[in-house]
């Protein structure tokens, strides 16, 4: 508006500017939100079979939706970045609420939740191997993808795999033990800014 026009409407000017500013702000905000790529940051701390699934399922799903995903692997979670995942096991003793189900037999038998006491799980030799074998068979029967396949899907989806350098030093591991696709080797302080600006941040 020219100075002459402004002089002619001194009382209307503040209200008009408020309306104009609010409309412009709303327009710009909605445009930015529509163009923004959602982002997610995950902190992974566990390396057992059952705890390996949540981060890779979440990350592969988010990347398939076009999200920017970053995963920070620290402590035992860092083993999920090794070239050889080895024979991942579940730990029923560490998951007392986990139902034990049999992947064979009639439906009524497979539907039973076996409440195994911690004393049995912790003291019976080979119980962890048995529980792992039963869980793996159940996953195969239900069509659940193996961890290696989910991890590959994450890499194909450009999920950023970030390793905790402190953990590598703590356990005396070598970088050559891990996937070459590891994007960076940093400490928590370097990852926190990424997590701070993410739309979704999860600790697993």
Strand partners, 44: 73
Q: Is the pTM here over 0.75, yes or no? A: no
| H or E element at residue 129 | helix 127-141
pLDDT in tens, 100-155: 666 666 776 666 566 665 656 666 666 777 777 777 787 787 788 888 999 999 99
Res. 6: pLDDT tops 60: no
Q: In this structure, what token pair is assigned to residue 105?
A: 């037999």
Q: Give the C-alpha distances (Å, rounded to integers) separating 71 from 45, 62, 188, 192, 195.
A: 11, 12, 12, 11, 10
pLDDT in tens, 15-64: 576 676 677 666 666 666 666 789 999 999 998 888 899 999 999 999 99
C-alpha 14 chain-centroid distance: 49
Residue 80 banded pLDDT, cuts 50, 70, 90: very high
What architecture is domain 37-203? 3-Layer(aba) Sandwich (3.40)
Backbone angles phi, psi at 64, to 5 degrees: -65, -25
């Amino acid at each position: 508006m020219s100075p002459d026009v402004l002089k002619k409407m001194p009382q209307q000017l503040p209200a008009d500017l408020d309306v104009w500013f609010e409309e412009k702000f709303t327009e710009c905000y909605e445009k930015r939100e529509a163009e923004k790529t959602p982002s997610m940051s995950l902190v992974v701390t566990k390396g057992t079979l059952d705890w390996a699934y949540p981060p890779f399922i979440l990350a592969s799903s988010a990347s398939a939706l076009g999200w920017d995903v970053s995963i920070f692997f620290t402590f035992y979670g860092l083993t999920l970045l090794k070239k050889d995942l080895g024979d991942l096991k579940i730990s029923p003793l560490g998951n007392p609420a986990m139902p034990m189900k049999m992947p064979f037999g009639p439906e009524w038998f497979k539907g039973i939740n076996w409440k195994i006491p911690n004393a049995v799980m912790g003291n019976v030799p080979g119980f962890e191997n048995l529980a792992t074998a039963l869980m793996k068979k159940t996953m195969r029967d239900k069509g659940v993808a193996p961890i290696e396949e989910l991890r590959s899907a994450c890499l194909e989806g450009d999920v950023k795999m970030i390793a905790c350098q402190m953990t590598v030093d703590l356990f005396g591991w070598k970088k050559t033990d891990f996937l070459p696709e590891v994007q960076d080797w940093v400490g928590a302080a370097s990852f926190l800014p990424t997590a701070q600006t993410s739309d979704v941040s999860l600790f697993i």
